[in-house]
Structure 1
Amino acid sequence: MSETITVTTWHLEQTSPADLRPTPAPAGAPLQVVRSERTGPEFARFLYTAVGGPWTWTDRLPWTYRQWRDWLDQDGLETWVAWVAGSPAGYVQLEPLPDGEVEIIYFGLLPGFIGQGIGSHLLSLGTARAWDLADRHPARPATRRVTVHTCSLDGPAALRTYEARGFRVFRTDDAEQPVTAAPGPWPGAEA
């Protein structure tokens, strides 16, 4: 019998653009946040593993190239990438759902950029882009709600970062799941 742990998941929301409490870019950082308008499966998987590897993001590791392509081809799906001095530092990915809801489906930083104020600014910009997503995708309805979820396996600052940007918890779930090692950015590779 495999060992399990209880994982708590917090579901958060904003119901108005006025809920957003933005954070400016950190002073002195050569930071740019740019929408990746041609995100290919290779780049999307790189961001997913480089950001999520330390936090046990594993659900998309078995995806095929075609599954990544089909997901990325959704109308309205957007990837915003933070760049510091020409290197990718993190990303926020927006997925439009029915009825004007936009989910921040993925958000985070590569390990070397954590703790520098970049994440709060990136989340601020990503949330603002969720609110105005229909401006860039006229076939999508106007955003009426922005959601995100985080869990007890994510970074220790995740929940308070979302709350500091104006997100409110609307549901909390606890579930048992098998204990697995965080795969790191290179699943299966030895450190």
Structure 2
Amino acid sequence: MTGFRAGQTVPYTVTFLEMTQRPGYGWPHTPNGMSGALLKADTPPVWYFRALYDAVGQDYAWTDIHASEDAQIADWLNSPEVALYSLIDKGWPQGFFLLDWREQTSCELCYFGLVPESVGRGLGAWMLRTAILTAWDREGVQKLTVNTCTLDHPRALVQYQKYGFTPVRQEERARVLVRDWTPATS
């Protein structure tokens, strides 16, 4: 697939999804071959979040968080209503998800993804189901939301729907790339 150069404008579609009841499936079994753990970060430093964000998002043109100041990100990450989970296996981060319960009765799955080296090992489905059930475990949650876009992994939208999310609206947007980017194809 053709790549794009920094400075080019790329159109994309954002799909907003929600889940209004806890899914009927149970906690998933750990994937074969995984010897690590999913760890909740306590007061994670901004550099750690940015490193995960960049490692997961580099193939999907994730750059928005870089417009935010460190102090703003630190306040967000250190809120008792926000939780960052890292999947650590073989001694290094394989992926992460971030849940935000700051809106009353709702949780947002703000970020979710695997580093490129971990895609295709069965970790994504396991981690997504775990993220969903973790979100619903908080008392009072009546809705779980997430969004994805056509710049993300090509299977992201289908996976969210497979595990219980329903699209509720779409928006057409465009962004100017801040670095060269080649869309993921599988």
TM-score by length of 1: 0.83
Per-residue deviation at 1:59? Answer: 1.0
What residue in structure 2 maps to residue 109 of structure 1?
114
Per-residue deviation at 1:182? Answer: 5.1
Per-residue deviation at 1:179? Answer: 4.9
Any residues of structure 2 matched to 1:146-161 within 5 Å, and which? Answer: 146-161=144-159
What residue in structure 2 maps to residue 170 of structure 1?
168
Per-residue deviation at 1:64? Answer: 2.9
Distance of 2:74 and 2:141 partners within structure 1: 25
Distance of 1:176 and 1:42 partners within structure 2: 27
TM-score by length of 2: 0.85
SS at match of 1:92: strand
Distance of 1:174 and 1:89 partners within structure 2: 31
Q: Deviations over 1:136-165 (max 9, x none)?
A: xxxxxx110000000000011111111111
**Does residue 17 of structure 1 match 2:15?**
no
Per-residue deviation at 1:25? Answer: 2.7
What residue in structure 1 maps to residue 142 of structure 2?
144
RMSD of Structure 2 on Structure 1 (CA): 2.2
Distance of 1:178 and 1:85 partners within structure 2: 36
- Contact kept in structure 1, 2:81 and 2:102, CA below 8 Å: no
- Contact kept in structure 2, 1:105 and 1:148, CA below 8 Å: yes
Identical residues among aligned pairs (%): 28
Count of matched residue pairs:
176
Moved more, 163-172 or 103-112: 163-172
What residue in structure 1 maps to residue 137 of structure 2?
132
**Gaps (5+ residues) in structure 2?**
1-6
Any residues of structure 2 matched to 1:69-108 within 5 Å, and which? Answer: 69-108=74-113
SS at match of 2:62: coil
- Contact kept in structure 2, 1:41 and 1:69, CA below 8 Å: yes
Summarize the Cα distance change of 1:177–1:44 in structure 2 as closer, same or farther, 3 Å threshold.
closer
**Gaps (5+ residues) in structure 1?**
135-141, 185-191
Summarize the Cα distance change of 1:28–1:93 in structure 2 as closer, same or farther, 3 Å threshold.
same
Distance of 2:26 and 2:44 partners within structure 1: 28
Summarize the Cα distance change of 1:39–1:183 in structure 2 as closer, same or farther, 3 Å threshold.
farther
Distance of 1:58 and 1:5 partners within structure 2: 13
Counterpart code for 1:173: E
What residue in structure 1 maps to residue 4 of structure 2?
none
Distance of 2:80 and 2:142 partners within structure 1: 18
